[in-house]
């Protein structure tokens, strides 16, 4: 591992390097890491900014939408000056303004069954910050097939959820928790039910923290656990998750062999 850092980088990352759990070796791990963020919305905004600030060397940003005025209540990587711009490019611009030293790969399109495995294949860790079930299941299944850790978060109204799925290393996958997408219209989206903007900020920041822990190999990860936060009650609780032996994605008799069964992702009315 190359531990050569410029004086500027040593100063930039000094508060990390001071931590015994990070140090120079940890900072080099962050620099060498490649993280893919699917969705540059309410979760993706703080996630991308904190990963860039932390010095994660390569960050891919997948989002096919453009910045809308109704996004700015919570999607803090975007700005009034960038209304109408592509969200992936806008988030990359915000990240670059914080840390010009990281590589930002802008993918201004939706994740599809055709491009998912190719895109994910270039990264070490994948983060889901999307707000439609078709894309959530597509990301989750692609990560199982590609054996990539998935750090997943979701928000609605005043509640957030977070977990890490890496069935290749033990623990459940997303389908162990949610075997199939719910019928259309059963679970409302943020554009239908609303979301307190700051709740997306907390959950995206927790997601960034878990990604950094995974890269550094420190602390207790979220594999096999679901964190649920009720912002109105100001209460966190953690639920144990077990692998489902009958899971069609990761179980012993898994039937999921490719992504051909996925319908194209519908348009996102509200990217979280």
Instruction: Work out which of 48, 54, 140, 247 binds Zn ion, going by CB under 5 A.
Output: 247
How many residues bind to Zn ion according to rule CB under 5 A?
6
CA 54 to CA 225: how far, in whole Å? 25
CB 115, min distance to Zn ion, A: 23
Least separation in angstroms between residue 219's CB and Zn ion is: 24
Nearer to Zn ion, 153 or 249 (CB): 249
Binding mask 135-174 for Zn ion (x = CB under 5 A): --------------------------------------x-
Least spacing, CB of residue 167 vs Zn ion, in Å: 6
Rule CB under 5 A: choose which of 47, 107, 250, 268 binds Zn ion. Answer: 250
- Given a contact cutoff of 8 angstroms between Cβ atoms, the answer to whether 166 and 6 are in contact is no
Query: Exactly one of 140, 176, 216, 227 binds Zn ion (CB under 5 A); which one?
Result: 176
Strand order in the sheet with 58-62: 103-107, 58-62, 34-38, 125-128, 150-156, 159-165, 225-230, 235-240
Identify whether the C-beta of residue 99 lies closer than 8 Å to the C-beta of residue 55.
Answer: yes
What are residue 36's DSSP bridge partners?
A: 60, 126
CB of 134 to Zn ion, least distance (A): 18
Distance CA 221, CA 160 (A): 17
CA distance 191 to 272: 8
Query: Which residues, other chains included, contact 179 with Cβ-Cβ below 8 Å and sequence gap of 6+?
Result: 244, 247, 248
Q: Toward Zn ion, which CB reaches closer, 83 or 254? A: 254
Under 8 Å between Cβ of 45 and 87: no
- Closer residue to Zn ion (CB): 82 or 175: 175
Stretch that binds Zn ion, among 55-63, 83-91, 187-195, 239-247 (CB under 5 A): 239-247
**Of 74 and 248, CB closest to Zn ion:** 248
User: Are the beta carbons of 40 and 61 closer than 8 angstroms?
Assistant: yes
Among 91, 175, 207, 241, binds Zn ion (CB under 5 A): 175
Between 31 and 166, name the residue whose CB sits nearer to Zn ion.
166
Alpha helix (H) residue ranges in 35-182: 44-54, 87-98, 116-121, 133-146, 174-177
**Closest separation in Å from C-beta 147 to Zn ion:** 13
When the beta carbons of 59 and 173 are compared against Zn ion, the nearer one is: 173
Q: Which positions touch Zn ion (CB under 5 A)?
A: 173, 175-176, 247, 249-250
């Amino acid at each position: 591992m190359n531990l050569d850092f410029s004086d500027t980088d040593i100063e930039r990352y000094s508060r990390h390097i001071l931590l015994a759990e990070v140090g120079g070796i940890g900072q080099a791990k962050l620099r060498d890491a490649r993280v893919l963020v699917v969705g540059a919305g309410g979760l993706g905004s703080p996630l991308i900014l904190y990963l860039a600030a932390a010095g994660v060397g390569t960050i891919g940003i997948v989002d096919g939408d453009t910045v809308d005025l109704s996004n700015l209540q919570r999607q803090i990587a975007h700005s009034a000056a960038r209304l109408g711009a592509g969200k992936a490019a806008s988030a990359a611009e915000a990240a670059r303004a914080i840390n010009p030293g990281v590589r930002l790969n802008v993918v201004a399109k939706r994740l599809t069954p055709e491009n998912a495995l190719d895109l994910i294949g270039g990264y070490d860790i994948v983060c889901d910050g999307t707000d439609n079930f078709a894309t959530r299941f597509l990301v989750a299944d692609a990560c199982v097939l590609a054996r990539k850790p998935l750090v997943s978060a979701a928000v609605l109204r005043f509640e957030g959820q977070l977990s890490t799925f890496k069935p290749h290393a033990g623990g459940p996958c997303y389908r162990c928790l949610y075997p199939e997408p719910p019928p259309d219209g059963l679970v409302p989206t943020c554009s239908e039910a609303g979301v307190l903007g700051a709740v997306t900020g907390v959950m995206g920041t927790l997601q960034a923290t878990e990604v950094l822990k995974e890269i550094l190999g420190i602390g207790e990860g979220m594999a096999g656990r679901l964190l649920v936060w009720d912002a109105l009650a100001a209460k966190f609780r953690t639920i144990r998750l077990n692998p489902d032996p009958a899971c069609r994605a990761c179980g012993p008799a898994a039937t999921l062999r490719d992504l051909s069964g996925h319908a194209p992702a519908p348009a996102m009315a509200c990217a979280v």
